[in-house]
């Protein structure tokens, strides 16, 4: 089983830090109702038996919505619950070993911060890459920030889909336009929100818009609150227009172009 770029558009990563009076099952269901296209179960502090019980329940939920479901890090749990696949980091099992354990029909995602890591993961059988952190994030204390030039270089270097992760939310997702990514992975931008369903719906719409911006268009992206000036000196408020007309320039509120 492999995943498409469309399935990676809005990739939701679980975190029980924001459960409150809710349950993880309920939160994931709300994310799916809002349009999440991929679910990763990432729970670092659960006993194995509890984790597996939760995994089985959420796997069935994802099956109902026809959304891929992967386990973070643990190949053993992914095998035990027959998840669609697993996502591993650079310090986890190498992608080739994961492929040998899981078989050819399962999804393998790999985190990457450099072109070299990305190429190696692809060579060893990864189906997609998670690249980041693209912005500062509180979800992972030791996250290494990856600049936009590196994100673009990774997308150019590999043939498999690439998603961005780390500090992404509704306020900055358009900054990723033109990078070559096919989707975003989010944690708090979904699960820390009072209305998870609405947050998912809004993020999905923004991400669809973002991935359809070409590299050429993204070079003319206006800063937040700035204005887009066309070659004919027509002015467009940056708040209502995300890209400048071809040949125009982006002017910030401080008149920076």
From start to end of the chain, where are the E strands?
A: 10-13, 38-41, 69-72, 85-88, 107-112, 128-132, 162-165, 183-186, 227-229, 235-237, 249-251
Specify the 3-state DSSP secondary structure of 183: strand
Tokens of 231: 């070659």
Nearest partner of 10 among 160, 187, 146, 151, judged by Cα: 187
Name residue 108's beta-bridge partners: 86
Active site residues: 42, 111, 140
Torsion sign across C-alpha atoms 5, 121, 51, 139 = negative
For 12-31, give one letter per residue: b (16+ CB within 10 A) or e.
bbbbbebeeeeebeebbbbb
Phi, psi for 185 (deg, rounded to 5) = -105, 130
Which residues 6+ apart lie within 8 Å of 16 measured at CB?
24, 43
Cβ neighbours of 231 (radius 10 Å): 11
Residue 160 CB partners (closer than 8 Å, separation 6+):
122, 126, 127, 128, 129
């Amino acid at each position: 089983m492999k995943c498409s770029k469309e399935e990676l558009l809005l990739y939701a990563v679980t975190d029980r830090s924001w459960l409150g009076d809710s349950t993880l099952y309920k939160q994931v269901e709300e994310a799916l109702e809002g349009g999440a296209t991929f679910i990763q179960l990432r729970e670092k502090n659960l006993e194995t038996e509890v984790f597996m019980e939760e995994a089985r329940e959420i796997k069935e939920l994802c099956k109902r919505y026809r959304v891929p479901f992967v386990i973070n890090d643990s190949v053993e749990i992914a095998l035990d619950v027959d998840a669609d696949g697993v996502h591993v980091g650079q310090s986890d099992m190498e992608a080739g070993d994961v492929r040998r354990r899981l078989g050819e029909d399962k999804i393998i995602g790999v985190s990457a911060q450099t072109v070299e890591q990305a190429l190696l993961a692809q060579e060893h059988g990864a189906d997609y890459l998670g690249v980041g952190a693209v912005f500062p994030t509180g979800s992972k204390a030791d996250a290494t920030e990856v600049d936009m030039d590196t994100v673009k270089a990774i997308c150019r270097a590999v043939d498999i889909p690439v998603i961005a992760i780390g500090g992404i939310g509704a306020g900055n997702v358009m900054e990723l336009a033109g990078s070559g990514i096919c989707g975003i992975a989010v944690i708090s931008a979904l699960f820390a929100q009072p209305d998870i369903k609405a947050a998912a719906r809004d993020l999905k719409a923004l991400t669809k818009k973002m991935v359809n911006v070409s590299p050429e268009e993204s070079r003319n992206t206006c800063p937040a609150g700035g204005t887009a000036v066309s070659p004919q000196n027509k002015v467009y408020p940056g708040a209502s227009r995300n890209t400048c007309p071809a040949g125009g320039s982006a002017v910030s509120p401080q008149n920076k172009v």
